[in-house]
Structure 1
Amino acid sequence: MFPTLYKISQLAVVSTEHLTIVLLITAGVFLFFIAIAVIKMYKLKAENKRLTDSDAFKAEVDESYKDFTDGHLYDNN
């Protein structure tokens, strides 16, 4: 009676094997991106630690600190 409607409904049927394959591929892609993000995070963490332990950063931090407790708001008589 409706040959085009039958063909469309037949195309809409998805087997569980096809759905499983698509979901596994999608999960694999997301796991790949998560693994790359974790590796980059550890590399950036190591770089940050190396930079904060360097002498240039320590000298900059030490020079920037000024003692503000000798101001007029505190009683240091």
Structure 2
Amino acid sequence: MLTTYTSNISLVSTMQLTIVLIVTASIFLIFITIAIIKMYKLKAENKRLTDNSFYKSEIDKSYQDFTDGHLYDNNNN
């Protein structure tokens, strides 16, 4: 004879599931908040380094106009 036995041990109640989901969502919210704070700090550090006069002078010196070189014919008369 086959008897049906149901156990409440393996069943998860709605309340337990809700608590687990709230805890998981809270942990992810903390991680996202930390990531956003770090992003703003890195953005501020990048702006500070970009505004540095030495860095700006290096960028200005690095660009040269090569259109007057021998590869381009500027005497189109």
Shorter-chain TM-score bucket reads 0.7 to 0.9
Query: TM-score, normalising length from structure 2?
Result: 0.82
Count of residue pairs brought into register by the alignment = 74
CA RMSD of aligned residues (A): 2.0
Q: Distance in 2 between matches of 1:24 and 1:14?
A: 15
Listed as ranges, the gaps of 5+ residues in structure 1 are: none
Partner of 1:62 in structure 2? 60
Equivalences for 1:6-25 in 2 at 5 Å? 6=5, 9-25=7-23
What is the deviation of 1:66? 1.8
What residue in structure 1 maps to residue 35 of structure 2? 37
Post-superposition CA distance 1:24-54 (Å, at most 9, x none): 0000000000000000001101111111111
5+ residue gaps, structure 2: none
Structure 2 partner of 1:26:
24
Q: Which amino acid aligns with 1:64?
A: S
Task: Give secondary structure in 2 for the equivalent of 1:24.
Answer: helix
Write the distance in 1 (CA, Å) between the matches of 2:22 and 2:5: 30
Deviation of residue 6 (structure 1)? 4.1
